[in-house]
Structures are given as C-alpha cells and as structure tokens.
Amino acid sequence: MSTEATTLERLNDDADDSAPSSAPPPQHGSIKSGRLAGLSMWTAIWVLAWPILIESMLNVSVGLVDTMLSAGISEAATDAIGVGSYIIWFLGMVAMAIGVGSTALIARSMGAGKVAVANAAVGQSVILAGIVGVLVGGLLALVAAPVASLMHMDEAAGPLFVEYTHILALAVPVIAIGMVGAACLRGAGDSKRPLVMMASVNVVNIVVSWALSGVDIAARSVSETGEVGRRILIENPFSFDMGIKGIAMGTLVAWTTGAMIVLVVLCRGRSGVRLLRHRLRLHASTMRRLLKVAIPNFIESVGMWTGNLITLLFVGWMGVAGLFGTHIVAIRVEAISFTPGFAMGLASATLAGQYLGAGDAAQAKLAVRRCAMISSVIMGLFGVAFILIPEQIVGLLTQQPTHLEYAPRLIFICGWIQVPFAIGMTIRNGLRGAGDTKFVAYITWVSTYAIRLPLAWLLCGVDIPLGSYGSIPNPNPYEWGIIGLWVGLCAEHVFRASMFTIRYLHGGWTRLRV
C-alpha cells in the first residue's frame, strides 16, 4: 500500500474516531458522548446495570455448570475443579486488571467527548490482552503439576487437576481477549453487547461440556427414612464420556466463541468505540496511561489471589478428602449473590469515570452511592435465603456426602455479611473506575494480610507444615476446621468494606488524573 493511501486511511479512521455524538449539545458536567449521553443518572444506572447483572449471573453459571458436572463424576473430580477454579480466577484477575484500565480510560474519554482517545485505548487493550494471555497460558501449563503437589491433592484428584489445567491453558488468550473487549464496551456505556457475548459463552459451555463429559443431570433426594441419595433428572444422550477433559474442552470452545463475538462487535463500532487496524500497533502514550491504572489493579489482584491460594492451602492441610470440593461448592453458591454487587460495581465504575471526565465530581459520588444502596438491598435478600434454606440451595448443586455435610453451614455463615460485602464491592469498583487503583490495592493488601489470613488461620486451627523443619503450631486449642476458616474469611469483609467507605467519603479519588 502506498504512503498516500495509508495516510488517507488514517485520516478517514480519525474522522470516524471523532464523529460527533447524535445527542444534543451537552452542558458542563453532563456526559458528552457514547450511549449514556443525555441520560438521567437513574436511567444510566438502569441501562448499564441490568445487562451487567444478567451477564455476571451467566459468568457465574459457567463455573457453576463445571462444578455441577464434576460433582456428578466424583468427589475427586470436584476437588480438581475446585483447585482449578482458583487458576481460572487468576486468569480472570489478569484480564480484569487490563479491563479496569480500559474502562477507566475509555469512560473518561467518552465523558469528555474524546472518541479518538477511546478508540486508541481499545486497540492497546486488545494488544495487551493477547500478549498477556499467551504468556499466562504458557506459565499455567508449566506449573500445573507443581501446584497439585503444593496443594497436597490426593492421588485421585491430582492427575485430574493436571489434565484439566493443561487444556485450560489453551483457553487463556481467548478468555483475556473476551473479558477485556467486554470491559472496553462497558467503558463506552454499552453493557448489552457484553451480555450477548456472555450468553453465547454459557450456551456453548453448557452444551459442549455436558455432551463431552458424559455426566447425567441429577439432584439430591431424601427418602422416607431420611436417607440422602441421588435422583437422575436427565440422562446424558451422548457417548463421549470424556469426564473432566470434556468439561475443560467446553470451557475452551465457549470462550473462543465469546472472544470472536467481542472482536466482531468492536470492529463494527456500533457501541460508540471501534477497534481500528492502525490502533493495533503500539501507541506508547496510550499504553502508558492504560498501564498506569492496570498495574496497581493487577498488584491488588495478585495480592488477593495469593491470599486466597494460601486459604486453599489451609483447606489442604486439614487432610479431609472432599474438602476442596466442599469449599468450591460453597464459593459457587456464594458467587450467585455477588452478581448484583458486581453489576452495580461495574455500573458505578463506568458512571464515576464518565462523570469525572465530564467535570462533575458530585454526580460521580452520587452515582457510586446509589449503586451501593441498590446492591446492598438485593444482596441482603440473598443473605436471608442463605440463612434460612442453605441445605436446599446446596442440594441443587451436588449430591456428594462431604459437600452436603459442610457446605450448608458455610453458606449460612456468609449469609450474615452480604450487606457489607455489597457495599465494599460496589465502592471498590467505583474507585477503580475513577482510576484510584493504587489506594484500592493498598486497602486490599492490608486487609488480606493483616486481617484475613491471620484470622482465618487462627480460627481454622491447622498447623503450618515446614517440611523437615517441623511446623508452626496454631495457638487455637480448638480445631474448628473449615467452619472456623469461613468465619474468619467472612469477618474480614466487614473490615474491608469499612476501609473502602472511608476512602469514598474522603473524596480524594475524585481529583485524580487518568
């Protein structure tokens, strides 16, 4: 292609970048471009939140389906999926770190009417997601076997975990691109198309994972004598019977489909931002702005993930078969209640960024407060259900005896902290959307390592093994096991919510430059 043609192409692309919004001329303090331009705050919250709520529920259901299918295979398979879910969580946090930077930069740009800057951020986000996805996927394949050993997984669960992880490593790049692309769309105020992407991921994951795994759909049953059993609801009509490999293949195919959908949407540009060819080359200033927000968020996420990995070690040191699976079953149930807080958190992130970009700090603070109020009410209702009917809820996911013995008690515990959990989750994401990722990272690290881990270790009662050097004895004379562990984990959420609330009230996050 000639130099003149290339220059003309860039000029045409930049003209598309800076195309004026169809909204009426904005006043100072109003959102100036994108799908939220001209909307009232309540309308903007609704437009953003309902698709994100459904999307996040669908996102949770991907892991929920995998857990249900693995529980239909064996307790060892559920243990493998349980530890594997922490690996998936790490992948999600890597993508989320990039996505937080994307959302903050795009939201500020769209709020100020700078569409070209937003499009530059889209291109750099996709580049970064692809590179990081390949690197993390390769690392994941290398560490699968050592992680199984570190977790003290038994001889049945360990090989299953390695098989699952090796296939999952292939999915890392497409998971990163899909999640980061969805974050770009949300930063522009479009939460409907990410919903379409996540719905597609779910449909493909359910169909392919179920077909390949060979697992029957079953439910918990109780006989007239009180004996707990398993009742088959739908027999699997397929003959593949690949077990846990089939579940992993379903995840790979599903996320490949999702990434393709997001890339098509971004290339078409109907959400207000567009993925343009010349934006897929490194643009140093935009990449620096993106990393300025993303790196502190990644540091926060690594700290949180490492803390939860240590928590998983506590579970392994208890030496009870099936506890890994029990822990993840309870987390999967609890994650259902996260969805309103997650939806309101992402809505508050977009609105905080766009209102600050428009120069209205008061509206940014009000948006975060309103989103926190809504999430508190909805998650509070989930908490009531967790307290009143935990056995029935857990029985929908698994029929394994160890899970049924412990998981309902864990769900009962977390029911009591749903409101502070909602407040902390929503405000944290609002601060991230404003670009305040350094302070959020500081709060998370202090809360995790000064409160969460010491309290969880003390209450669970396990000693810390040091190999040939003996062990660090737990000073708690009572071995409360996984019940004590969850009491400590849940109590820490109250402290964390308080810290995020104090930062919100301080208001320093409204004066940051992104």
Q: Give 310's contacts (C-beta < 8 A, 6+ positions apart).
A: 453
* Token couple for 66: 């995998």
Tell me if 21 is assigned to some domain. no
Tell me if 88 is assigned to some domain. yes
Burial of 313 (0-12, 13-18, 19+ CB in 10 A): middle
Pairwise CA distance, residues 37 & 34, whole Å: 6
- With 0.75 as the threshold, say if the pTM is over it: no
Tell me if 46 is assigned to some domain. yes
Tell me if 168 is assigned to some domain. yes
Domain that holds residue 208: 38-511
Tell me if 61 is assigned to some domain. yes
If pLDDT is split at 50, 70 and 90, which confidence band does 422 have?
Answer: very high
Tell me if 4 is assigned to some domain. no
Strands 228-234 and 464-465: unpaired
Higher-confidence residue of 4 and 506: namely 506
Q: Averaging pLDDT over each range in 57-66, 227-236, 382-391, which range is the top one?
A: 382-391
Q: Is the pLDDT of residue 189 over 80?
A: yes
**What is the number of residues in the chain?**
514
Tell me if 103 is assigned to some domain. yes
Burial of 391 (0-12, 13-18, 19+ CB in 10 A): middle
Tell me if 22 is assigned to some domain. no
If pLDDT is split at 50, 70 and 90, which confidence band does 32 have?
Answer: low
| Count of the separate structural domains present in the chain | 1
Output the DSSP codes for 434-463: TT-HHHHHHHHHHIIIIIIHHHHHHHH---
pLDDT tens per residue across span 304-319: 888 888 998 898 888 8
pLDDT for the residue numbered 13:
44
pLDDT for the residue numbered 104:
84
How many C-beta atoms surround the C-beta of residue 210 within 10 A? Answer: 24
pLDDT for the residue numbered 221:
60
If pLDDT is split at 50, 70 and 90, which confidence band does 223 have?
Answer: low
How many C-beta atoms surround the C-beta of residue 28 within 10 A? Answer: 8
Q: Is the pLDDT of residue 227 over 60?
A: yes
pLDDT tens per residue across span 434-473: 888 889 889 989 999 999 999 999 999 898 888 778 788 8
For 153: left if phi > 0, alpha if psi spans -120 to 50, otherwise beta; the answer is beta
| Phi and psi, residue 221, nearest 5° | -130, 150
| Phi and psi, residue 230, nearest 5° | -130, 125
Pairwise CA distance, residues 178 & 189, whole Å: 17
